[in-house]
Chains A and B, each alone.
Chain A
Amino acid sequence: MKKSVILGAATIAGLAAGAAAAGTVDDVKARGKLNCGVSSGLAGFSLPDANGDWQGFDVAVCRAVAAAVLGDSNAVEFVPTTGKTRFTALASGEIDMLARNTTWTFSRDVDLKFEFAGVNYYDGQGFMVPKALGVSSAKELDGATVCIQTGTTTELNLADFFRANNISYEPVPIETNAEAQQQYLAGACDVYTTDASGLAATRATFENPGDHVLLPEIISKEPLGPLVRHGDNEWGDIVRWTLNALVSAEELGVTSANIDELSAGTDNPEVNRLLGTEGTLGEMLGLNADWAANAIKAGGNYGEVFAKNIGEETPIGLARGLNAQWTDGGLLYSPPFR
């Protein structure tokens, strides 16, 4: 009896949550603010600065979506989430979208009932070793002690990699990235492994970054992207195409510097369609004609956002690599705006 009551309550709550998910874009417009889930602190990707303003690569996605929907890149309520709370916060409707360096995997997409709107950063698991170790490839790490965060996919990837190459390792389990830095610097482990972007950010903070090298092997695929709830395709489309707009803008040479000029109309019909001077793309999404122009103005195109937050000029110092445009040998490939 009791069980059936609890199940009944859960079902009703689930149905109600599904019903609420039907009109996220209307909710956001009525509220005048986008509730965007971000990481509570990850260098380069999302962090509050000294004034409490949120900065970072993932944060820029939130701002672009807010600008596209509401015309104001500051109309975002950033909801800090942890690795444990992020999915429930999204499923329960506390946040409208999640942009928190979340890997797109089968089970998260299918089983957890989320909709990934695309990939804003192609990451992969790498290794960092002290230069003094004299290692140039991860395959030479036989018998090494490895600092590894427990309970993550990186732990499983590591085991797979070492088994596939028939070499052994000794794991040093650690809980957080901060702890890992201390352990690695104290020499508790020879190797530190996590996502390559995280390794680069970590190395940048060392006293002597030059004493440590990142090994060339990337042993896993970690496509990170923004996600929304299943079942609200209009909202999913908005997030997806906002991300695509940023990528297309870079490909088409639209930057925050020349966007005002280009918005007046150009000879390139695709730029015109993107910026809303031609066609009715904005209307199809249920947004204003200049939705994409607003999104690009929020922080610039994909390349500008990358360069500002995590690019080679920043302390994080990440190269574009896989995250270059397809025309430059990367994986960024936005479907056409037509």
Chain B
Amino acid sequence: MSDVSFVRTEMLPEQAPPASEVGIVGWIRHNLFSGWFNSILTVLSLYAIWYVLSGVLPWTFQSVWNANSLNECREIMIATWGSTHGHACWAVINDRWLQLLFGFYPSHLYWRPILALILLLVALAPVLYSDRVPTKMLIVTALYPFLMPFLMWGGTIWGPIAAALGFVVGWGVYTIVSKQLSGLFGIVLGIAASIIWWLVLSSYFVGALDSILPIGIEAVQSRQFGGFMLAILLGVVAIGVSLPIGIVLALGRQSDLLIVKYLCVGFIEFIRGVPLITLLFVASLLLNLFLPPGTNFDIILRVMIMMTLFSAAYMAEVIRGGLAALPRGQYEGADSLGLNYWQAQRLIIMPQALKISIPGIVSTFIGIFKDTTLVSIIGLFDVIGLASAIRADTAWNGIYWELFAFIAALFFVVCFSMSRYSMYLERKLQTGHR
């Protein structure tokens, strides 16, 4: 026995971890150079990033902002850097950015589309952030569909009021008839009354009131709409209207009523089976040939309808996917609670189905928003159409990248915002099933 103790009785003081394992160095070692293979990949990736940035950054920032033509840009580049290669000529954006944003909208009326955009955000707030914004703001949302066309197109104020009254008329007829007779009659007659009001009576109403009390703002022709404003206008309408139509179509497709079901299936399959460009050509060309001559069926309205129908068909299938993902028990649970069809859809089925479908819905939104650029093919001046019109100006002929980079940036901002919002919404509605 010896009294030399081999067992340490007191704790060693804590040591700082080796410098190579913590902090930035440690993070780099673990994440970037954890083995020879990863090290090679890291080096290659860094080289690729450097290569791209070394081209893009000087091009973007060593650039000309003030010039009146591409040739002037080139002269400035030669004078400053000795070469025209690798320098952007943002002067074209500086010169034409208002046109790229607003098209040919009269410049003294720019406040109207801007106000419409601000009101759009106000109207969307109670829908998008229902937990943070007072519910009373929904009044703005309800009024917006009538306010927006009035701001954009101008003209007499009685037009949008007459359009809104159509809903009042329909609702009035529905409540009276459904009390006297049956609910189904009420719905049918209410819808019929609204349609009659819109198609026949409202024009007399507008004409009469306009002659008595001509209140209005300066009218703007559809031909003057253009630029990114047109993309937002088409996108917002297509997105806003296609969601409810898509829900109805998705429910219709699952319906037990044979006629409703096959009407919905036929519509969805037909629209999805046809390219959007074809529909746009129908809107711009074929309708003209079939409508009675002299009919002034607004080209932007035609395009809006086609884009809405197109995205509604896709939306219906996305939502059907959400419905299909719900277990059978949810439907049975709703039945056992004694809820009728619409109550069950509203309280139990749709909230869950829509939550499941959020990524798909937002993808469809983003897709249709980007598809609005296709209208340049039928001669509408959206941003892409304007870019080629600007190139037709001898001052800017031969300029490509700067215009497309600007357009890409505009679209990226909007699409990225939609994408981030959908992720926020998914997190918010997450109820912990995983």
Contact (Cβ within 8 A) B393 A82: no
Number of residues of chain A lying within 8 A (CB) of chain B: 48
Sorted nearest first, the 5 A-B pairs with minimum C-beta distance are: A20-B293, A41-B392, A92-B288, A205-B398, A52-B104
Q: Does B30 contact A (CB under 8 A)?
A: no
Task: Determine the chain A residues whose CB is within 8 A of the CB of B394 once the complex forms.
Answer: 43-44, 201, 204-205, 314-316
Residue of B224, B388, B400 ringed by the most chain A CB atoms within 10 A: B388
Q: What are 19 contact pairs spanning A and B, CB under 8 A?
A: A13-B292, A40-B381, A40-B389, A43-B393, A43-B397, A48-B381, A48-B389, A50-B95, A50-B96, A52-B103, A52-B104, A52-B224, A81-B379, A82-B378, A85-B284, A88-B289, A93-B293, A94-B288, A314-B394
Once bound together, how far apart are the Cα atoms of A84 and B377, in whole Å? 8
For A34-54 the 0/1 string (1 means CB < 8 A from B) is 000001111110111110100
| Given A42-B392, A89-B288, A204-B397; A80-B293 close (CB under 8 Å) | no
Once bound together, how far apart are the Cα atoms of A82 and B400, in whole Å? 20
Once bound together, how far apart are the Cα atoms of A169 and B30, in whole Å? 58
Once bound together, how far apart are the Cα atoms of A39 and B385, in whole Å? 11
Task: Determine the chain B residues whose CB is within 8 A of the CB of A80 once the complex forms.
Answer: 379-381, 385, 389
Which residues in window 258-298 of B have CB below 8 A to A?
A: 281, 284-285, 288-294
Contact (Cβ within 8 A) B398 A47: no
Residue of A nearest to B223 (CB): A77
Once bound together, how far apart are the Cα atoms of A201 and B391, in whole Å? 11
CB < 8 Å: which of A19, A84, A181 contacts B398? A181
* Nearest Cβ on chain B to A220's Cβ, whole angstroms: 23
Once bound together, how far apart are the Cα atoms of A176 and B387, in whole Å? 13
* Nearest Cβ on chain B to A134's Cβ, whole angstroms: 25
Contact (Cβ within 8 A) B104 A13: no
Q: Does B74 contact A (CB under 8 A)?
A: yes
Contact (Cβ within 8 A) A79 B223: yes
Once bound together, how far apart are the Cα atoms of A27 and B296, in whole Å? 13
Once bound together, how far apart are the Cα atoms of A65 and B429, in whole Å? 63
CB < 8 Å: which of A10, A40, A79 contacts B385? A40
Contact (Cβ within 8 A) B293 A19: yes
Task: Determine the chain A residues whose CB is within 8 A of the CB of B223 once the complex forms.
Answer: 77-79
For A165-194 the 0/1 string (1 means CB < 8 A from B) is 000000000001010011000000000000
* Nearest Cβ on chain A to B97's Cβ, whole angstroms: 11
Contact (Cβ within 8 A) A16 B397: no
Task: Determine the chain A residues whose CB is within 8 A of the CB of B293 once the complex forms.
Answer: 16-17, 19-20, 92-93
Once bound together, how far apart are the Cα atoms of A176 and B376, in whole Å? 14
Residue of A nearest to B396 (CB): A205
Contact (Cβ within 8 A) B289 A13: yes
Task: Determine the chain A residues whose CB is within 8 A of the CB of B380 once the complex forms.
Answer: 80
For A268-280 the 0/1 string (1 means CB < 8 A from B) is 0000000000000
CB < 8 Å: which of B379, B391, B398, B400 contacts A85? B379
For the A-B complex with A77-B223, A78-B223 known, give 20 more contacts whose Cβ atoms are closer than 8 Å: A13-B291, A16-B293, A19-B293, A20-B293, A40-B376, A41-B388, A41-B390, A41-B392, A47-B393, A48-B104, A50-B96, A50-B99, A52-B224, A79-B223, A80-B381, A82-B379, A84-B281, A92-B293, A204-B394, A204-B397
Q: Does A159 contact B (CB under 8 A)?
A: no
CB < 8 Å: which of A85, A93, A181, A207 contacts B378? A85
Contact (Cβ within 8 A) B288 A9: no
Once bound together, how far apart are the Cα atoms of A315 and B95, in whole Å? 19
Task: Determine the chain A residues whose CB is within 8 A of the CB of B60 once the complex forms.
Answer: none
Task: Determine the chain A residues whose CB is within 8 A of the CB of B95 once the complex forms.
Answer: 50
For A86-98 the 0/1 string (1 means CB < 8 A from B) is 0011011110000
For B345-370 the 0/1 string (1 means CB < 8 A from A) is 00000000000000000000000000
Task: Determine the chain B residues whose CB is within 8 A of the CB of A205 once the complex forms.
Answer: 70, 394, 397-398
CB < 8 Å: which of A9, A176, A182 contacts B290? A9
Residue of B nearest to A47 (CB): B392
Residue of A nearest to B299 (CB): A94
Contact (Cβ within 8 A) B292 A16: yes
* Nearest Cβ on chain A to B100's Cβ, whole angstroms: 11
* Nearest Cβ on chain B to A208's Cβ, whole angstroms: 10
Task: Determine the chain A residues whose CB is within 8 A of the CB of B397 once the complex forms.
Answer: 43, 201-202, 204-205, 315
Task: Determine the chain B residues whose CB is within 8 A of the CB of A202 once the complex forms.
Answer: 397
Task: Determine the chain B residues whose CB is within 8 A of the CB of A81 once the complex forms.
Answer: 379
Q: Does B66 contact A (CB under 8 A)?
A: no
Contact (Cβ within 8 A) B285 A88: yes
Residue of A nearest to B291 (CB): A13
For B97-121 the 0/1 string (1 means CB < 8 A from A) is 0010001100000000000000000
Once bound together, how far apart are the Cα atoms of A181 and B395, in whole Å? 16
Which residues in window 102-145 of A have CB below 8 A to B?
A: none
Task: Determine the chain B residues whose CB is within 8 A of the CB of A201 once the complex forms.
Answer: 394, 397
Once bound together, how far apart are the Cα atoms of A132 and B160, in whole Å? 65
CB < 8 Å: which of A20, A85, A178, A315 contacts B388? A178
Once bound together, how far apart are the Cα atoms of A52 and B398, in whole Å? 20
Which residues in window 210-228 of A have CB below 8 A to B?
A: none
Q: Does B422 contact A (CB under 8 A)?
A: no
Once bound together, how far apart are the Cα atoms of A304 and B290, in whole Å? 42
Task: Determine the chain B residues whose CB is within 8 A of the CB of A14 once the complex forms.
Answer: 289
Q: Does B84 contact A (CB under 8 A)?
A: yes
Contact (Cβ within 8 A) A82 B377: yes
Contact (Cβ within 8 A) A206 B391: no
* Nearest Cβ on chain A to B425's Cβ, whole angstroms: 39
Task: Determine the chain A residues whose CB is within 8 A of the CB of B99 once the complex forms.
Answer: 50, 52
* Nearest Cβ on chain A to B288's Cβ, whole angstroms: 4
Once bound together, how far apart are the Cα atoms of A202 and B385, in whole Å? 19
Task: Determine the chain A residues whose CB is within 8 A of the CB of B70 once the complex forms.
Answer: 205
Task: Determine the chain A residues whose CB is within 8 A of the CB of B103 once the complex forms.
Answer: 52
Once bound together, how far apart are the Cα atoms of A46 and B391, in whole Å? 11
Contact (Cβ within 8 A) B392 A206: no
Once bound together, how far apart are the Cα atoms of A52 and B74, in whole Å? 25
Contact (Cβ within 8 A) B389 A41: yes
Once bound together, how far apart are the Cα atoms of A206 and B70, in whole Å? 10
CB < 8 Å: which of B84, B289, B376 contacts A17? B289
Residue of B293, B377, B390 ringed by the most chain A CB atoms within 10 A: B293
Once bound together, how far apart are the Cα atoms of A225 and B110, in whole Å? 37
For B205-234 the 0/1 string (1 means CB < 8 A from A) is 000000000000000010110000000000
Which residues in window 65-98 of B have CB below 8 A to A?
A: 70, 74, 84, 95-96
* Nearest Cβ on chain A to B416's Cβ, whole angstroms: 27
Task: Determine the chain A residues whose CB is within 8 A of the CB of B376 once the complex forms.
Answer: 40
